[in-house]
Amino acid sequence: MPGVTIEVKYFNTFVLKKTLSGQYVTDQPVWNGSFGVPSTVAGGYPVVADTSQGTPFAIEESRIRGGFNNTSVDFSPRAFLVEDNPNASRLFSSLIYSGIFNSRTGVNDTNVFPVGSDITKSADPANGSIQKLYAEDTNMIVFQEYKVSRALIDKDAIYSAEGGGSVTSSNLVIGVLQPYAGEYGISQNPESFAVYGYRKYFTDKNNNVVLRLSRDGITEISSYGMKDFFRDELNNIDTNAGPGVVRGAYDLYTDQYVVSMQQSPVYNTNTEFKTLTFDDTINGWPSLYTYQPDQMFSVRNNFYSFKNEKLYRHNSTAVGRNTFYGSQSPSSVTVIFNPDPTRSKTFSTMSYEGNNGWELTTLASDGTGKDYLSGLKNAYISTNDSANTILSYVMGEYVINPTNGQAVSGTPTGAGVGQGYVATFATKNPPYPRLHAGFDRKENAYVANLVNSSPAAQGEIIFGSVISGIKGFYATATFSTDRYTDPGGEKQLFSVATDFFSNNGY
């Protein structure tokens, strides 16, 4: 870096500091010397205003308390240490520790780094940079990009010629690094780390996995039914806009690990994200949430998160269920019906047991083999049967207006429950029989017929609503909560079922 030397007869300050040459911390540190006399003066004291060279440099006053006429330091000869390499360097895979701190004896050597002492410990640079340190009992866990190791504290490991090892006390602050089995690390996502008890959770974006470090070593918990999901999501959080983040925390209220994978830019609510939880009691992922947190943490059995610089407490009874950051979203459950998998079937009805307020939003059978579309280059199509949406018990309720024979719904679009009746009959409870176009109820069990809504497939003669139910080897159904039935209230779904009959093998 080019520079000049200015000789002055009188000076009031020394400019001494190694700083970065650029705007970002990834730039290489260099010895910058002095940038010259500061250009701004406020209250008679020099102030550094020029930050074009990066981090503002430090100013050390040569006069006591910086006063203009105060006693100046002596200008006599001083001893300087000439280093062979005066440039600062960044050792991304090494640790350094200072002296001790003891509040009872008043010893505070946290700013003492004696050059003559062995105060560094280096990890294998082939495993990438050190991203996270976690102290546990008398050990320290070191998370590198491609490896997780355990460093002994105030003790060391001695190995015999036969390869056996034993641990002995030592005056070393950081002993030998002992790697955990498995080629796993924390990538560059230390924000995914969370701990509860002796269990540590984190993600490894390089391997597209979610991991748990416990007494039995490292376990790949993303393989519990979600291997393909995390392979795709972790592989896609980095975009052209920049690297994404993987935020992790432990929810003490539900006793679950929460992980939120967010594409860049992470503070844009329109970006793609997935937030879900892991439960150790079932070794599974029970919930997928609709909120995108900026930060998460637990305090005294309560789970909190930050969003847009505001703090929110989760699992609060003061707001409705499934309400996050002031916005309410529906809950949904997807199930697959696959009885007698070797036979083609017709699914004719759909039923469930639980609370009122559930509707069937989608229902589709398995797809056929892809057929070639003539006249189009490399065009193939796969068809399947689908059914109309089945409204919930409240949403599908209606009565017949005796004056004109027209059906009147209790919940027209954009209105609350019963407002359709109020507009027509001036009451929410007209004295006419209630009919249901969606689910009908019998002793807390809800059932409805399936109405086919499929377009004509290739070679198909009878299709759509002319057909009762949907055809296929299996069917995929998604149940969701509606907007009007006790918004934010409890809605349980105990079981779902369907009636079907065999299509005689075709």
Burial of 288 (0-12, 13-18, 19+ CB in 10 A): exposed
The DSSP string of 428-488 is: SS-SS--EESS-EEETTEEEEE-BB-PPPPTT-SS-GGGSBSEEES-EEEEEEE-SSSSTT
- pLDDT exceeds 50 at position 40: no
Above 90 in pLDDT, residue 305?
A: yes
Contact 49, 38 (CB under 8 A): yes
Half-sphere exposure of 448 (CA within 13 A, CB side): 25
Amino acid letter, residue 118: D
Q: How confident is the model at residue 78 (pLDDT cuts 50, 70, 90)?
A: low
Query: In this predicted structure, which of 142-156, 197-211, 388-402 has the lowest mean pLDDT?
Result: 142-156
* Spatial distance between the Cα atoms of 180 and 220, rounded to a whole number of angstroms: 13
For 246-300, write each residue's pLDDT tens digit.
Answer: 999 999 999 999 999 998 876 655 678 999 999 999 999 999 999 999 999 999 9
123 pLDDT above the threshold of 80: yes
Q: Of 27 and 373, which is predicted with more confidence?
A: 373
Average pLDDT in the 422-437 region?
A: 90
Q: How far apart are CA 504 and CA 506, in angstroms?
A: 6
Range with the lowest mean pLDDT among 142-146, 250-254, 262-266, 343-347? 262-266
| C-alpha–C-alpha distance, residues 47 and 245, integer Å | 38
User: Helix or strand or coil: residue 367?
Assistant: coil
Q: Whole-model pTM?
A: 0.75
Residue 421 clears pLDDT 70, i.e. is over it: yes
Residue 225 has a pLDDT of 92
Instruction: Give the mean pLDDT of 56-70.
Output: 64
Across 168-172, 334-338, 495-499, least confident range: 168-172
Computed over every residue of the chain, the mean pLDDT equals 81
Between residues 221 and 39, the one the model is more confident about = 221
Which tokens go with 241? 């806009």
Report the pLDDT value the prediction gives residue 193, as an integer from 0 to 100. Answer: 97
